[in-house]
Amino acid sequence: MQHSKNTNEVDRTRPIALARKAITALVVMALTGILGWTVWTLPPYSDRMQNLVATHLPISGVENPVTAVLLNFRGYDTLLEIGVLLLAAVGVLSLAPTQVVPAETAPQRIQMLLLRLLPFIVIVAAYLLWVGKYAPGGAFQAGAVLAAGGVLLVTSAVRFNQLTIQSIPISLSIGLLTFLAVALATMIGGGNFLQYPLPWASMLILIIEAAATISIAVILTILFLGRKPDGEYPPKTNGG
Partner 1 sequence: MTISLLYALVGVVLLGMGLYRLVIDPHLVKKILALNISGAGVFLFLVAVADRTPGFEPDPVPHAMVLTGIVVAVSATAVALGLVGRIREIKGTAEFSENEPE
- Contacts with partner 1, residue ranges (CB under 8 A): 1-7, 9-10, 12-13, 17, 20-21, 24-25, 28-29, 31-32, 35-36, 39-40, 42, 44-47, 49-50, 53, 65-66, 68-70, 74, 77-78, 81, 84-85, 87-89, 91-92, 95-97, 138, 140, 216, 219-220, 223-224, 226
Helix 168-188 with 75-94: angle, nearest 10 deg: 150
Choose between 78 and 173: whose C-beta lies nearer to partner 1.
78
Q: Which amino acid is at 224?
A: F
Let me know how long the chain is: 240
Specify the residue, 50 or 166, whose C-beta has the smaller distance to partner 1: 50
Indicate the residue among 78 and 186 with the shorter CB distance to partner 1.
78
Amino acid sitting at position 42:
L
- Between 28 and 112, whose beta carbon lies closer to partner 1? 28
Q: Smallest Cα–Cα separation from 68: which of 82, 54, 81, 51?
A: 54
Burial 14-27 (b: 16+ CB within 10 A, else e): eeeeeeeeeeeeee
In the complex, minimum distance from the CB of residue 122 to partner 1, in angstroms, rounded to a whole number: 21
HSE on the CB side for 82, CA within 13 Å?
A: 30
* Shortest reach from residue 100's CB to partner 1, in Å: 12
Tell me the β-bridge partners of 54.
none
> Shortest Cβ distance from residue 118 to partner 1 (Å)?
22
Distance in Å, CB of 139 to partner 1, minimum:
10
3 state DSSP class of 231: strand
Answer yes or no: are the C-beta atoms of 189 and 201 closer than 8 Å. no
Q: How many Cβ atoms are within 10 Å of 120's Cβ, its own excluded?
A: 11
The residue (of 102 and 107) whose beta carbon lies closer to partner 1 is: 102
In the complex, least distance from residue 67 CB atom to partner 1, rounded to whole angstroms: 8
Nearer to partner 1, 77 or 232 (CB): 77
d(CA 67, CA 56) in angstroms, rounded, equals 13
- 67 touches 129 (CB < 8 A): no
User: Considering beta carbons, is residue 27 or 115 the nearer one to partner 1?
Assistant: 27
Contact 98, 239 (CB under 8 A): yes
Cβ of residue 232: shortest distance to partner 1, in angstroms?
25
Q: From the CB of 51, what's the least distance to partner 1, in Å?
A: 10
